[in-house]
A and B are shown apart, each in its own frame.
Chain A
């Protein structure tokens, strides 16, 4: 069971609970003269990068573990991403309002490409466009629900992984459309095995006799979970690596890839992060 849904879901998935869209968490922070972490995201990311580098150079294993814990706790409080499928995206768009898109901060930081508007933001955070011009660099573009759906479908086809993110736990901030390794959270997860990017509530599964071995799905996986098996003459998905985004199934002409709820797999039920629980 997902710990966030237990804590903040009220019987639903945490990002489908309307309560997590309506809490006002900016107000009190502003009164005290503090700016929320999001307003200086580059700084948060830069500090995390510095923590990563001191972890790399740290000789004492205990100090290194503490550094990793510190980074993970900060990220999970202010920027956690959880992968969602396109169906869930549509469910979220039903309850979120207003909706706007803006330029992806990760791409700005890691690829120096400040142009393309690929991140979505919802609700109250959009009051702060004028006050946090640096975070919403390039401005925001407000979208109707239909436009947002169309946009997300286009990103799905292009092969971007959708993830829902928070501004502060457990307030739903919006969607990211991520790819490896230009996404900061995926980059850190893949390079260091740190818990920055949470898996979805699903696992992709290939139906054995439906796959014809065309290999089209393989290049779409951003997590290296899909490969081609010459022995079986079909694609195989490593369920321990799968993040359940469903991007691979778009390429499948034979409709062989299905998303199966994570709870159907007892041993995957507690696998939510890039790093796997220790097995002995």
Chain B
């Protein structure tokens, strides 16, 4: 199994870039607001590599990320 880390300080956000979402064959990434105020539109969306158990380690997201914000580590 892999562990996927996305550095939010480097990442431009899912709607501005979002390249990793389009290349991932197993859809491990999840876009969601960092915090939410009720009844308001949120613009602080972040990327999380939540479904890490589906990751095959193909490294497409790591290679395509323009900010080098994604790291994939193998865990036991």
Chain A: residues with CB nearer than 8 A to chain B? Answer: 35, 39-40, 42-43, 45-46, 49-50, 52-53, 56, 108-114, 131-134, 137, 181-182, 187, 191
Contacts and interface: CB of A to CB of B under 8 A. Distances in A.
Contact of A49 (B14, B30, B38): B30
A80 B54 CA distance: 24
Contact of A134 (B30, B36, B52): B36
B66 to A, nearest CB: 14
Contact of B27 (A35, A52, A132, A182): A182
A111 B38 contact: no
B50 interface: yes
A53 B75 CA distance: 15
B31 interface: yes
Contacts of B38: 35, 39
Given A42-B33, A132-B39, A112 B14 contact: yes
A133 B39 contact: yes
A146 B36 CA distance: 37
17 contacts: A40-B36, A45-B30, A45-B32, A50-B50, A53-B52, A53-B53, A56-B53, A109-B30, A109-B31, A111-B21, A111-B27, A112-B15, A112-B47, A113-B18, A134-B40, A134-B42, A187-B27
Is the contact region of chain A dominated by helix, strand, or loop, or is it mixed? Answer: helix
Interface residues of B, number: 24
Nearest to A182: B27
Nearest to A131: B39
Interface in B17-76: 18, 21-22, 26-27, 29-33, 36, 38-42, 47, 50-54
Contact of A112 (B31, B33, B40): B31
Contacts, number: 66
B53 A137 contact: no
B22 to A, nearest CB: 7
A46 B54 contact: no
Nearest to A130: B39
B21 A112 contact: yes
Contacts of A111: 18, 21-22, 27
Nearest to B47: A112
Contacts of A56: 53
A191 B27 CA distance: 11
Given A133-B40, A133-B41, 5 more contacts: A43-B32, A53-B51, A181-B26, A182-B27, A191-B51
A81 to B, nearest CB: 17
B72 to A, nearest CB: 16
A222 to B, nearest CB: 14
B50 to A, nearest CB: 5
A214 B21 CA distance: 33
Contacts of A43: 32, 36
A136 B26 CA distance: 26
Q: Identify the 8 closest CB pairs spanning chains A and B, nearest first.
A: A112-B18, A112-B14, A112-B21, A133-B41, A42-B32, A49-B50, A56-B53, A46-B32
Contact of B32 (A53, A109, A181): A109
